[in-house]
Amino acid sequence: MEFLVRIEVRLPADVPDRERADLAASEVARGRALQDAGTIVRIWRIPGKVANVAVWKAADATDLHELLTSLPLFPWMDIDVEPLALHPLEGPRSG
Amino acid sequence: MEFLVRIEVRLPADVPDRERADLAASEVARGRALQDAGTIVRIWRIPGKVANVAVWKAADATDLHELLTSLPLFPWMDIDVEPLALHPLEGPRSG
Amino acid sequence: MEFLVRIEVRLPADVPDRERADLAASEVARGRALQDAGTIVRIWRIPGKVANVAVWKAADATDLHELLTSLPLFPWMDIDVEPLALHPLEGPRSG
Amino acid sequence: MEFLVRIEVRLPADVPDRERADLAASEVARGRALQDAGTIVRIWRIPGKVANVAVWKAADATDLHELLTSLPLFPWMDIDVEPLALHPLEGPRSG
Amino acid sequence: MEFLVRIEVRLPADVPDRERADLAASEVARGRALQDAGTIVRIWRIPGKVANVAVWKAADATDLHELLTSLPLFPWMDIDVEPLALHPLEGPRSG
Amino acid sequence: MEFLVRIEVRLPADVPDRERADLAASEVARGRALQDAGTIVRIWRIPGKVANVAVWKAADATDLHELLTSLPLFPWMDIDVEPLALHPLEGPRSG
Amino acid sequence: MEFLVRIEVRLPADVPDRERADLAASEVARGRALQDAGTIVRIWRIPGKVANVAVWKAADATDLHELLTSLPLFPWMDIDVEPLALHPLEGPRSG
Amino acid sequence: MEFLVRIEVRLPADVPDRERADLAASEVARGRALQDAGTIVRIWRIPGKVANVAVWKAADATDLHELLTSLPLFPWMDIDVEPLALHPLEGPRSG
Amino acid sequence: MEFLVRIEVRLPADVPDRERADLAASEVARGRALQDAGTIVRIWRIPGKVANVAVWKAADATDLHELLTSLPLFPWMDIDVEPLALHPLEGPRSG
Amino acid sequence: MEFLVRIEVRLPADVPDRERADLAASEVARGRALQDAGTIVRIWRIPGKVANVAVWKAADATDLHELLTSLPLFPWMDIDVEPLALHPLEGPRSG
């Protein structure tokens, strides 16, 4: 099942540069792994924000929650999840 | 997977009484069938409104959408769907 | 009487790990006790959030408030309460 | 248990004057009966609106819903219900 | 004239316990005085929140503002005020 | 006591021109009378809308509600009322 | 450039069945053409609603507007458009 | 003085095609006249909507309101006006 | 031109009493000067809040912005500005 | 393609004056460069706020995001981006 997930990162200003860089590097690595596994299907930057909107594939909401909490920046994220259903245009075409 | 589904019915005032009664009867029958099938797990009236909030069990969002559109009053419903994940308190207890 | 209760936990980042772990352990213990007592009827994790939505059974709003303030994490919780009425589908079926 | 109930009446403009007067009269009669029964504890007009806010006393949300649907103007009402708990200032004073 | 006043208290976590207890005690004392004076007509706890909703009687908005700023916790309060008008059901009944 | 009153007029398109003109004329006449009586203290058009914002003087919210319902266009108005308190800058200056 | 487009269809109840069916058929045909042309990149049904969320590819907002107004149901659609930027995870990977 | 003006047109579906075409033609003509007069400084279509956002130049809010009400489609428009101040980047550059 | 300006002051709790008193005194002095100059036409306290709503007269939005930033408490203010147009009731009366 | 970009700056009070002045100077310099390059087409101050609304020209949302993150104050900015389409009034005029 697919979900539309909107994530805004609110890392406070007082996080030291070193820790910030380490977190960013781990976040990218985890993102790539989820992408390679087919979990993050598509992902876009929301212009002007430290935020993204992405299509995630997961078994269900429980599985999705575990995947989201595996993100290194999870403690500083505001996350909104929207369930997605198959649209007829993406279903089988008769005839 | 379970979903929290909030439904408000907005049947316009100019629907004749007879049609209104027929729709209500079909709606109850369909509701009972969904309840008996274990699809509607729990359901509550929202006090003061022609509305309910319920826990639905469905394979995924596609399945849920088909179940919801099977409701006789669907064309007059405002529906909001929220995906639910397993809470640790409802998971297995160790020790 | 049942209530739909939505709880989001906003524990600040500067709470030391030890205190955080202690609070989490007490919270789980209190949650299990409320569950065993039949107060927390059902509970779900809201995916992507440190939050839950649950069905609580309490004598009335006064009783519910006392139960909610008994949660160890109460001082850091944003709580919204919605009263629930019996839905005819859960009432007695005639004939 | 007490509830804070906010009611806005949206009777459409095309309701004939006679029906409008009849509905208003029944609404007043029902309101007085509920007041005499101690169900409507206090009630105020919201200035500038065809609306009121009131304190209702009911056994629970199920009972309240039945009372609200007994109002002759119920089909044209937008109703919001908020549960109220006892405030310590209204509880017993020690010493 | 009566007003519906909604107060949420947002005392920060870093207020020392002693100061917190002193503030709470003064708040209760002031609340009782306002209640005894007939200023606070009714007051309820909003379940799940450090908040209350109450009916205040004051000469006008200027008088009400002075009364609200006399609350010891005023600097930490979010307050919303709604003017209330007499509802016909509470007016004189003819015949 | 003064109130800030915001009024938006939503006269439906199917009101005949003649009735519309009559209503407008009565509305102006009533507005002038309220202005001459010192009830409408100041009034402004909200640019781009069939709406105004005005300062009304009334004994209390009950009196204000009666004044507002005396407006010929009242049945088609969306009205929001905000109570106003004396600001120290408009109070007596010492020394 | 890609856009996230959310479309809710509000076809009024008084549209005759025949016209409704014709509109639906044209809508599907136009949707398939846009899909085949690579304009509609992905599309999902929003569960419980006559609505979809989709990723559209267009030269710019002007091009997108023309494409959206080419939909047979456009006059009855509520459409919200959000611009999408490339996310680094979808950019070239070094090393 | 400049204003940011957002206009959404809500012409009901039952306006006959002929009247609709006449209104559209008059609207374009009036728009061009306002553009030629330097009143509409810039104007954009909001993608996906029958709406525009534009920069208007007017003496003040009173003048702007008269200009807006001169639009043939004014009775069916939802208009929001935001005042704009000179930004230092558009002011004189020293040295 | 007149503007309706709503100002809420959010001075943080950790501002020392002395600085707070100095700021308040400067704010009052500046407010009186603006009042004497006819810039602040009317001003009211919003009951229950450290906030005011006022009618300001300024040449245009640029002038108003300069006047608002001249307030000593400006760095701690949340300000909302609404442009006001002349209402016909305040215009010249014919005959 | 053009975008309507709304930027509010939330520089915390504890940034030292020197750093604040340096940031402001760099921000102005960057703003002028973007203006000279034709990227910032028009820009206005929102009266009463440390905020601006501006028309930006960029290849697409990806380009715009890079331009916005090049602003020295970007880490303290709340930014909202709205895509703009060509309005017929700004298109070629026939005949």
Residue B78 pLDDT level (bands cut at 50, 70, 90):
very high
Nearest CA in chain D to F71: D48
H64 lies within 8 A of chain I by CB: yes
What is the count of residue pairs from H and J with beta carbons less than 8 Å apart?
Answer: 71
**Using one digit for the tens of pLDDT, what is the confidence trace for H32-88?**
999 999 999 999 999 999 999 999 999 999 999 999 999 999 999 999 999 999 999
| Model confidence at A95: pLDDT above 70 | no
**Using one digit for the tens of pLDDT, what is the confidence trace for I37-90?**
999 999 999 999 999 999 999 999 999 999 999 999 999 999 999 999 999 999
Per the listing, tokens 């004497």 go with: I36
Residue C71 structure tokens: 């949660």
Beta-carbon separation of G87 and A32 below 8 A: no
Q: Is F93 within 8 Å of I52 (Cβ atoms)?
A: no
For chain B, percent of residues with pLDDT exceeding 70 = 98
Residue A55 structure tokens: 């299509």
Whether H33 maps to a domain, the answer reads yes
Neighbours of G39 (CB within 10 A): 18
**Using one digit for the tens of pLDDT, what is the confidence trace for D31-88?**
999 999 999 999 999 999 999 999 999 999 999 999 999 999 999 999 999 999 999 9
Torsion of CA H54, H59, H63, H69, to 10 degrees: -20
- Chain B contact probe: residue of D23, D64, D65 with most B CBs at under 10 A: D65
Q: Where are the beta strands (DSSP E) in chain A?
A: 2-9, 40-45, 51-57, 77-86
- Look up the ipTM and state it: 0.96
Rounded Cα distance, J24 and J5, in Å: 19
The shortest C-alpha distance from D20 to chain C (Å) reads 30
Q: Which of D12, D64, D75 sits opposite B47 (nearest CB)?
A: D64
Indicate contact of F with D: 3+ CB pairs under 8 A: yes
Whether B65 maps to a domain, the answer reads yes
Q: What is the pLDDT of residue D6?
A: 98
Q: What is the pLDDT of residue F14?
A: 81
Instruction: Show residues of chain C in contact with D81, CB under 8 Å.
Output: 83
Q: Most distant CA pair in chain E: distance in Å? A: 61
C23 lies within 8 A of chain E by CB: no
- Chain B contact probe: residue of G8, G9, G49, G76 with most B CBs at under 10 A: G49
C11 lies within 8 A of chain D by CB: no
Question: H or E stretch including C91?
Answer: none
Tell me the three state secondary structure of residue H25.
helix
- Chain B contact probe: residue of C87, C90, C93, C94 with most B CBs at under 10 A: C87
Indicate contact of E with A: 3+ CB pairs under 8 A: no
Rounded Cα distance, B33 and C73, in Å: 41
E64 lies within 8 A of chain F by CB: yes
Q: What is the pLDDT of residue I94?
A: 67
Closest CA to J89 of H66, H63, H61, H24: H24
Residue C42 structure tokens: 């059902």
Whether E49 maps to a domain, the answer reads yes
Rounded Cα distance, C65 and C61, in Å: 6
I64 lies within 8 A of chain J by CB: yes
pLDDT along chain E (95 residues), means of 10: 97 89 96 98 98 98 98 97 98 76
Whether I16 maps to a domain, the answer reads yes
Instruction: Give the residue numbers spanning the domain of C43.
Output: 2-86
Rounded Cα distance, A33 and A29, in Å: 6
Q: What is the mean pLDDT of residues B8-20?
A: 91
When divided into structural domains, chain E yields a total of 1
Q: What is the pLDDT of residue A38?
A: 98
**Using one digit for the tens of pLDDT, what is the confidence trace for G64-76?**
999 999 999 999 9
Beta-carbon separation of D49 and F75 below 8 A: no
Q: Between residues 42 and 61 of chain G, which touch chain J (CB distance below 8 Å)? A: 60-61
Residue D13 pLDDT level (bands cut at 50, 70, 90):
confident
Instruction: Show residues of chain J in contact with A47, CB under 8 Å.
Output: 3, 61-62, 64-65, 68, 81
Closest CA to H53 of H77, H69, H30: H77
DSSP state of E94: P
| Model confidence at F89: pLDDT above 80 | yes
Number of helices (H), then strands (E), in chain A:
2, 4
What rounded mean pLDDT belongs to chain F?
A: 95
| CA I66 vs CA B31, J47, J48: distances in Å | 63, 8, 8
Residue C54 structure tokens: 């649950």
D12 lies within 8 A of chain F by CB: no
Q: What is the CA radius of gyration of chain F?
A: 15
Whether E93 maps to a domain, the answer reads no
Q: What is the pLDDT of residue H95?
A: 55
Instruction: Show residues of chain H in contact with G71, CB under 8 Å.
Output: none
Rounded Cα distance, B31 and B28, in Å: 5
For chain B, percent of residues with pLDDT exceeding 90 = 91
Whether D45 maps to a domain, the answer reads yes
Q: What is the mean pLDDT of residues B54-73?
A: 98
**Using one digit for the tens of pLDDT, what is the confidence trace for A77-93?**
999 999 999 999 999 88
| Model confidence at B38: pLDDT above 80 | yes
- Chain E contact probe: residue of F4, F57, F62 with most E CBs at under 10 A: F62
Nearest CA in chain I to E75: I13
Whether G91 maps to a domain, the answer reads no
| Model confidence at D27: pLDDT above 90 | yes
Q: What is the pLDDT of residue E94?
A: 67
Whether A94 maps to a domain, the answer reads no
Q: What is the CATH number of the domain that holds I61?
A: 3.30.70.1060
In this structure, which amino acid lies at residue F86? L
Q: What is the pLDDT of residue J33?
A: 98
Residue J92 pLDDT level (bands cut at 50, 70, 90):
confident
Closest CA to G10 of G23, G22, G1: G23
The shortest C-alpha distance from B88 to chain G (Å) reads 26
Closest CA to B88 of C40, C85, I52: C40
Neighbours of D35 (CB within 10 A): 17
Indicate contact of A with B: 3+ CB pairs under 8 A: yes
| Model confidence at B31: pLDDT above 90 | yes
Torsion of CA G35, G36, G41, G46, to 10 degrees: 30
Indicate contact of C with H: 3+ CB pairs under 8 A: no
